[in-house]
Amino acid sequence: MSTAQLELTHITQAAARASAIAAATPDARRAEWLLAVADILDANSAELVALADEETHLGEARLAGEVARTSGQLRLFARVITEGSYLEAIIDHANPAAVPPTPDLRRVLRPLGPVAVFSASNFPFAFSVAGGDTASALAVGCAVVVKAHSGHPRLSERTAELVAEALRGAGAPEGLFSLVSGRDAGTALVQDPAIKAVGFTGSIPGGRALFDLAVSRPDPIPFYGELGSLNPVVLTQAAIEARGAELASGLAGSFTLGAGQFCTKPGLVFLPEGTDFAALLAAASREKPAGAMLTDRIAEAYPEGLRGHATVPGVDVVVGSVDQRALAEGAAPVVFRTSAATVFEHPDRLLEECFGPTTVLIEYQDREELHRVLALVPGSLTATVDAEPGEDIQAVAEQLAGLAGRVLFGGWPTGVAVNWAQHHGGPWPATTSLFTSVGATAARRFQRPVAYQDAPEALLPEALREENPLRIPRRVDGVLSLP
């Protein structure tokens, strides 16, 4: 075994020991760990933002907001685990009169064990070292081993130092949180027998490769990957007639936000033929500045993606140039226009994500053609429909709900609230699972149900004991019981 493998095994074995301790630690105590991490991130925000801006070029204002979002996520999960319903505690008392008689059964969710988390490039805080995957796993009692992203290595190391310091000061067990770097370490991490689940945010090829490793292990483990998303938008004739300039301005701001490097960027916009919306969007987009991309590889891939769209017969460039030097000069906005008929002929080329500040306008003849072309759109994180009051859009809304995890009625998808109701997921390739990676129920990814049959009271988890010592919501004999 190589030195690198020995080091990784040492880390994952320590994580396994820490997970056992964390699983047995009261929720209120684990909440204190999360709050300590949130506090130390806020206290060191200026230093972290400066580091992040040097490595990602995302701008201090955006990054400062992201630090606040990250500490907010940690505080949310502290509230989630102290409220208690995340355990999904269920009690069905024995019923000897049933046919056949039923035993006493009590069910609760328990932590899976050590979790591997892969940082994202486009959110160096919120989906990175101390981001949502880490917060939700730590919350339920799972140790976390983070694989740092190569796009912001110094930030990753400094953030990890602060997280470890906060956890140590709050009395968390050694090994509860660790950081590793390098592609080989990431691959080995997914295959390490101590790792029981993986959280990933990144590209489809990278995510698929790791997903295949996770499910081909001798003991397959869940792989929760957030991959690619086109985030379709549907505009109706009435909406364009009533608010065309406003919609164009909003769309221009959304698809160029952060140089188009948001996973929720609206990449496809469906609108009826014969409107002036393309001209309005061109005017709204023309003055948007070029932006630095997150990594050299992303910058080099952007012009390739643009040319892939531009060379499809029947596709026009509305604004911008596909011949860009994005690595040297930044990525500039590009808007394409085509027809639903062209998409039917070239779905493999036009329904492929181009990461960067670009979007494709797809004009449809009527609602029937709209439904046919939407049926080709791959699974997405979001889908949006913008209509006027009184329009019948029920069929469109139902179709969008079938292909995305979050359906917006107006507004723009770049912006993900972090709360109890949020769902950030969707059918493949948006994610590899049915669970969310944002919001309170993101914790469910790292738990599994265990049922206890005719267990002595003293051997039951506190959440399942008759007197409800934790004072948490439970379902007892089929009836939801609140403390």
**Residue 288 DSSP SS3:** coil
What is the rounded (10 degree) CA torsion for 132, 446, 425, 349? 100
As a whole number of angstroms, the distance between CA 52 and CA 124 comes to 7
- The total number of residues shown for the chain amounts to 483
Of 55, 263, 353, 369, the catalytic one is 263
Give the number of other Cβ atoms within 10 Å of residue 457's Cβ. Answer: 9
Of 226, 353, 363, 369, the catalytic one is 226
As a whole number of angstroms, the distance between CA 47 and CA 466 comes to 49
Quick one: tokens of 108?
A: 């609760």
The candidate with the shortest Cα–Cα distance to 251, out of 387, 62, 386, 418, is: 386
Q: Is 391 a catalytic residue?
A: no
Question: Identity (one letter) of the amino acid at 405?
Answer: G
Q: Are 256 and 302 in contact (CB under 8 A)?
A: no
Q: Are 232 and 384 in contact (CB under 8 A)?
A: yes
Q: Is 142 a catalytic residue?
A: no
**Residue 123 DSSP SS3:** coil
Q: Are 424 and 416 in contact (CB under 8 A)?
A: yes
The angle, 0 to 180 degrees and rounded to 10, between the axes of the packed helices 237-256 and 277-285 is: 20
As a whole number of angstroms, the distance between CA 165 and CA 178 comes to 11
Quick one: tokens of 134?
A: 């880490």
Q: Are 185 and 12 in contact (CB under 8 A)?
A: no
**Residue 179 DSSP SS3:** strand
As a whole number of angstroms, the distance between CA 213 and CA 142 comes to 21
As a whole number of angstroms, the distance between CA 463 and CA 84 comes to 8
Please tell me whether the peptide bond between 389 and the residue prior to it is cis, using omega within 30 degrees of 0: no
Phi, psi of 337 (to 5 degrees): -135, 135
- The radius of gyration of the chain from alpha carbons, rounded to an integer in Å, stands at 24
As a whole number of angstroms, the distance between CA 370 and CA 434 comes to 26
Quick one: tokens of 42?
A: 């806020």
Active site residues: 226, 263
